[in-house]
A and B are shown apart, each in its own frame.
Chain A
Amino acid sequence: MSSENGRAALARPQAQPPLQREQARTIFQKGAPGRRAFECPVADVPQPEGEELLPARMRRRRPPALPEVSEPELVRHYVQLSKRNFDLDSGFYPLGSCTMKHNPRLHERVAALPGHARLHPLQDGERAQGALQLMWELQQALAEIAGLPHVCLQPSAGSHGELAGVLLTRAYHEDRGEQRRKVLAPDTAHGTNPATVTMAGLELVKLATDARGGVDVEDLRAKADPDVACLMLTNPNTLGLFEPNIEEIAAIVHGVGATLYYDGANLNAVMGISRPGDMGFDIVHFNLHKSFTQPHGGGGPGSGPIAASERIAPYLPRPLVSCREDGSFALELEGPKSIGRLRGFHGNYGCFVRAYAYIRSLGADGLRDVSEAAVLNANYLLAKLRERGVAEYLPLAYGELCMHEFVLSGAPMKRALKVRTLDLAKRLLDFGFHPPTVYFPLLVEEALMVEPTETETRETLDAFADAIAEILQEAAADEQLAAGAPYSTPVRRLDEVSAAKRPVIRQAL
Chain B
Amino acid sequence: MLASIGVGSVAEIFDRQIPAAVRLGRPLALPEAMPEQDVYEHLRALALRNVSAEDELCFLGAGMYDHYVPALVDMLCERSEFLTPYTPYQPEISQGTLQVMFEYQTAISELTGLPVSNASVYEGPSAVAAAAYMTKLHNSRRRLVVSAGLHPHALGALRTHAHGYGMEVVEVPLRDGVTDLDAWSEAIDEQTSAAIFAQPNFYGAVEDAATLSAEAKARGDAVVVASVDPIVLGILASPGECGVDVAVGEGQPLGNRLDFGGPSFGFFAAREEFLRRMPGRIAGETVDVDGRRGFVLTLQTREQHIRRERATSNICTAQALNALAAVVYLSWLGRRGIVQLGELLLARTHYARRTLAALEGVQPAHEQPVVREFAVRVDADVAAVKGRCAREGVNPGVDMHALSGRPEDRGVLLVAITERRSRADIDRLARTLGAAVAAEREAVVL
Contacts and interface: CB of A to CB of B under 8 A. Distances in A.
Contacts of B364: none
Contact of B334 (A36, A499, A506): A36
A464 to B, nearest CB: 14
Q: Which of B94, B153, B287, B317 has the most CB of A within 10 A?
A: B317
A509 B53 CA distance: 38
Given A66-B334, A342-B157, A275 B24 contact: yes
A67 B313 contact: no
Interface stretch (B81-89, B213-221, B429-437): B81-89
B53 A119 contact: yes
Contacts of A41: 344, 419, 422
Interface stretch (B122-130, B179-187, B188-196, B438-446): B122-130
Given A24-B95, A116-B259, A364-B27, A74 B331 contact: yes
Interface residues of B, number: 200
6 A-B pairs closest in CB distance? A115-B47, A345-B261, A297-B321, A121-B261, A130-B49, A363-B33
A60 interface: yes
Contacts of A38: 70, 332-334, 337, 340-341
Interface in A365-403: 365-368, 372, 375-376, 379-380, 382-384, 387, 401, 403
A401 B7 CA distance: 10
A122 interface: yes
Contacts of B334: 35-38, 66-69
A340 B319 contact: no
Contacts of B161: 163, 199, 342
Interface in B268-325: 275, 281-290, 292-296, 298-301, 303-311, 313-322, 324
14 contacts: A24-B95, A35-B334, A64-B233, A98-B86, A121-B258, A244-B17, A274-B23, A303-B263, A345-B64, A361-B34, A383-B5, A401-B17, A403-B17, A496-B286
Contact of B133 (A98, A199, A376): A199
A302 B317 contact: yes
B10 A350 contact: no
A190 B303 CA distance: 12
Contacts of B298: 496, 499-500, 503, 505
Contacts of B321: 295, 297-298, 300-301
B289 A493 contact: yes
Interface residues of A, number: 197
A69 B156 CA distance: 40
Contacts of B403: 122
A44 B427 CA distance: 12
B386 interface: yes
B111 to A, nearest CB: 5
A63 B234 contact: yes
B22 A299 contact: no
A163 B156 CA distance: 15
Contact of B259 (A87, A350, A367): A350
B22 A279 contact: yes
B22 A246 contact: yes
Nearest to A303: B263
A429 B260 contact: no
Contacts of B315: 157, 159-160
Nearest to A162: B314
Given A118-B258, A296-B86, A505 B105 contact: yes
Contacts of A175: none
A200 B165 contact: yes
A506 B17 contact: no
Interface string B39-59: 110111111111111110010
Contacts of B115: 506
A118 B257 CA distance: 6
A278 B24 contact: yes
Interface in A310-361: 317, 339-351, 353, 356-357, 359-361
A221 interface: no
A26 interface: yes
Interface string A109-145: 1111111111111111001111101100000010011
B159 A429 contact: no
A440 B52 CA distance: 45
A365 B63 CA distance: 41
A492 interface: yes
Given A69-B331, A298-B94, A361-B34, 7 more contacts: A85-B85, A118-B257, A133-B49, A157-B315, A298-B97, A341-B160, A344-B126
Given A115-B50, A157-B122, A349-B259, A95 B110 contact: no
Interface string B207-237: 0111000000000000000000000011111
Contact of B339 (A53, A63, A486): A63
B153 A344 contact: yes
A125 B307 CA distance: 43
A272 to B, nearest CB: 5
Contacts of B292: 21, 23-24, 491-492
A9 interface: no
Contacts of B301: 500
Interface string A400-431: 01010000000000000000000001100100
A3 interface: no
A86 B85 contact: yes
A297 B80 contact: no
A471 B75 CA distance: 38
Q: Which of B304, B309, B327 has the most CB of A within 10 A?
A: B309
Contacts of A167: 160, 163-164
A345 B343 CA distance: 29
B313 A131 contact: no
A350 B164 contact: no
A358 B321 CA distance: 20
A429 B320 contact: no
Contacts of B332: 37-38, 71, 74
B46 to A, nearest CB: 4
A53 B350 contact: yes
Q: Which of B22, B160, B338, B346 has the most CB of A within 10 A?
A: B22
B96 A84 contact: yes
Interface in B326-358: 327-328, 330-341, 343-344, 346-348, 350-351
B72 interface: yes
A357 B53 contact: no
A468 B286 CA distance: 29
A74 B118 CA distance: 23
A364 B29 contact: yes
B106 interface: yes
